[in-house]
C-alpha cells in the first residue's frame, strides 16, 4: 500500500482530475503535472499547523454553527416545541459548507451571500459534471460543463473574489482578526516568495481543489452519521451522556476526547463504506511494482478494494453487523481507534504521505454537527422505510429525498 500511495509516478491528482473533469471544472487544471510541491504545501498548512489554527477558530466555528441552527436550518416554527422537518442531505451540505467556508476564507468573506452561494454550488456542479462525463464522449465535456455550470458562473464568482485578495496581499485583505488562522491566509503567506509558480490564478485553482474535497466528503459522511443515529436511536443517548461528561464543551480539544463518538463515526464509515475503492492512482508512465513485479501501463488506474478491507473478519469480527462501540469494546483488531486516524484498515482518508491533510478540519466540523444536533433535538427519520443511499459505480450516494424530524428537547444545550 505504501508504494501505491507514495510513488510520484502513480498520481493521485491525475486520477481525480480525470474522474471529476478538473480540466473543465477547475479552469484548465494541469492534471498531468508531476510535482510534489503542492502536496508538501497542503501538508504543511493543514496537517502540521492545522490543529493550532482550528483551536484558534473553535469559538468562531461554534458561533457559526449556532447561527446556522438558529437562522438557516428551516423557518422558525411558531411553537418552539414543535418538530422540524428537514431534508437530511441538503442540511448536511449546508452545515458543512457554511463552517468550512469560515475555515478557508474567514468570517467576513464567508458571510458574503453571493460568495457563500457560489461555494455551495461549485462542488455540487462538479459532481454532476463527473456523472455526465462518465457516460458521454470526451469531446462533449466542455459543452456539458457550460450547461451544468451556466458557463462557470460559480467558479468565476469565486475567482473574482479570491484572486484580487491574493494579488493585493494579506496586509490589504479586509478580513476580521481571525484571518491569520484561515487556509487562504496560510496559502498566501507560504507562497508569497514563489509567485512565479504560485500565481494568483494558480493559487486560487489549488484552493478550489481543496475546497471541493472539503465540501464533498464530509457532508456525505455526515449524512450517514445522522442516518445511523436515526436507525440506532440509543446512540443519541449514549453520545449525549458522553458529551455531558465533558460539560457539553464543543471546542476541538474537548470534542476530540470522546472515544464513543469516534467509535460510532468509525463504525458508520466502515459499515457503509461510502467508496468501495481507495488509494486511486493513475500511472503517468509504465510502472512496475517492486513487491511482485506487476506492471501498470501508462494511463491505467490502480486502486485498493476498500470494501474488502472493511469486511475483513480478521480485523472486524462479524463484519456485516453494525456495532457502534466496536472501537472501544475490543471488537476491532485495528491498532487505530479515532476517526481521523490513518491506517491500512481505515482508508477513508487515503494512506501514506498523501493521506488527506485536512482530515482534522473535516472531523471537527462533522463532530460539531453531530454534537450540536443531538444536544438540541431527538432525531428520527420521517418514515421508517427511508433508505440511506444508492450506488453509482463504486460510490454510495445519499438519497436527496430522505428527511428527518427534529423534535426539540426539553433541555437543549446551546452550542
**Averaged pLDDT of the chain:** 91
pLDDT in tens, 102-155: 999 999 999 999 999 999 999 999 888 888 888 889 889 889 989 999 999 999
User: Which residues, at least 6 apart from 3, have a Cβ–Cβ distance to it below 8 Å?
Assistant: 289, 290, 291
Q: What would the grid cell of residue 226 be?
A: 445522522
- State the average pLDDT over residues 372-393: 91
DSSP state, 284?
A: S
Q: Are 85 and 382 in contact (CB under 8 A)?
A: yes
Q: What are the angstrom distances between the C-alpha of 88 and each of 136, 216, 298?
A: 30, 15, 41
Beta bridge partners, 278, equal 304
Please name which of 7, 68, 179 lies closest in space to residue 415, comparing C-alpha atoms. Answer: 68
End-to-end CA, the chain: 41
89 pLDDT band, cuts 50/70/90, is: very high
pLDDT in tens, 43-70: 889 988 999 999 999 999 999 999 999 9
Identify the residue whose cell numbers are 436515526: 230
User: Which residues, at least 6 apart from 24, have a Cβ–Cβ distance to it below 8 Å?
Assistant: 129, 141, 142, 145
What is the four-CA torsion angle of 117, 135, 347, 355, rounded to 10 degrees?
-60
CA 393 centroid distance within chain: 20
Sheet strands side by side (includes 10-11): 10-11, 277-283, 301-305
pLDDT score of 179 more than 70: yes
**Domain 2-408 = CATH 1.10.630.10:** yes
pLDDT at 20: 72
pTM for this predicted structure: 0.92
pLDDT at 178: 86
Q: What would the grid cell of residue 209 be?
A: 481543489
Q: What would the grid cell of residue 249 be?
A: 464543551
Q: Are 359 and 51 in contact (CB under 8 A)?
A: no
Amino acid at each position: 500500500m505504501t508504494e501505491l500511495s507514495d510513488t510520484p509516478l502513480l498520481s493521485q491528482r491525475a486520477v481525480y482530475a480525470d474522474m471529476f473533469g478538473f480540466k473543465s471544472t477547475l479552469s484548465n487544471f494541469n492534471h498531468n503535472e508531476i510535482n510534489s510541491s503542492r502536496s508538501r504545501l497542503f501538508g504543511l498548512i493543514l496537517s502540521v499547523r492545522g490543529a493550532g489554527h482550528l483551536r484558534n477558530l473553535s469559538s468562531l466555528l461554534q458561533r457559526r454553527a449556532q447561527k446556522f441552527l438558529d437562522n438557516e436550518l428551516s423557518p422558525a416554527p411558531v411553537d418552539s416545541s414543535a418538530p422540524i422537518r428537514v431534508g437530511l442531505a441538503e442540511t448536511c451540505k449546508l452545515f458543512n459548507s457554511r463552517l468550512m467556508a469560515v475555515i478557508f476564507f474567514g468570517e467576513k468573506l464567508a458571510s458574503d451571500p453571493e460568495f457563500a452561494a457560489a461555494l455551495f454550488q461549485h462542488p455540487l456542479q462538479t459532481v454532476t459534471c463527473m456523472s455526465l462525463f462518465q457516460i458521454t464522449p470526451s469531446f462533449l465535456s466542455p459543452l456539458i460543463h457550460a450547461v451544468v455550470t451556466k458557463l462557470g458562473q460559480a467558479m468565476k464568482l469565486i475567482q473574482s473574489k479570491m484572486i484580487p485578495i491574493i494579488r493585493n496581499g494579506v496586509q490589504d485583505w479586509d478580513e476580521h482578526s481571525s484571518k491569520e488562522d484561515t487556509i487562504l491566509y496560510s496559502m498566501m503567506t507560504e507562497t508569497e516568495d514563489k509567485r512565479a509558480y504560485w500565481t494568483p490564478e494558480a493559487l486560487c485553482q489549488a484552493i478550489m481543489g481543496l475546497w471541493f474535497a472539503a465540501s464533498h466528503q464530509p457532508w456525505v459522511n455526515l449524512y450517514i452519521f445522522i442516518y445511523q443515529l436515526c436507525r440506532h436511536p440509543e446512540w443519541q443517548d449514549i453520545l449525549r451522556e458522553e458529551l455531558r461528561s465533558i460539560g457539553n464543551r464543543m471546542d476541538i480539544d474537548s470534542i476530540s476526547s470522546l472515544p464513543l463518538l469516534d467509535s460510532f463515526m468509525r463504525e458508520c464509515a466502515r459499515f457503509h463504506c461510502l467508496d468501495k475503492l481507495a488509494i486511486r492512482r493513475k500511472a503517468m508512465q509504465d510502472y512496475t511494482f517492486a513487491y511482485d513485479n506487476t506492471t501498470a501501463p501508462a494511463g491505467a488506474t490502480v486502486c485498493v478494494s476498500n470494501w474488502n478491507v472493511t469486511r475483513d473478519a480478521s480485523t472486524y469480527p462479524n463484519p456485516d453487523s453494525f456495532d457502534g462501540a466496536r472501537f472501544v469494546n475490543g471488537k476491532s483488531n485495528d491498532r487505530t481507534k479515532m476517526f481521523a486516524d490513518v491506517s491500512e484498515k481505515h482508508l477513508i482518508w487515503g494512506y501514506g504521505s498523501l493521506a488527506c491533510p485536512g482530515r482534522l478540519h473535516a472531523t471537527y466540523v462533522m463532530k460539531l454537527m453531530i454534537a450540536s444536533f443531538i444536544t438540541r433535538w431527538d432525531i428520527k427519520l420521517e418514515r421508517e422505510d427511508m433508505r440511506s443511499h444508492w450506488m453509482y459505480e463504486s460510490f454510495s450516494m445519499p438519497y436527496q429525498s430522505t428527511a428527518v424530524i427534529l423534535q426539540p428537547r426539553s433541555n437543549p444545550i446551546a452550542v
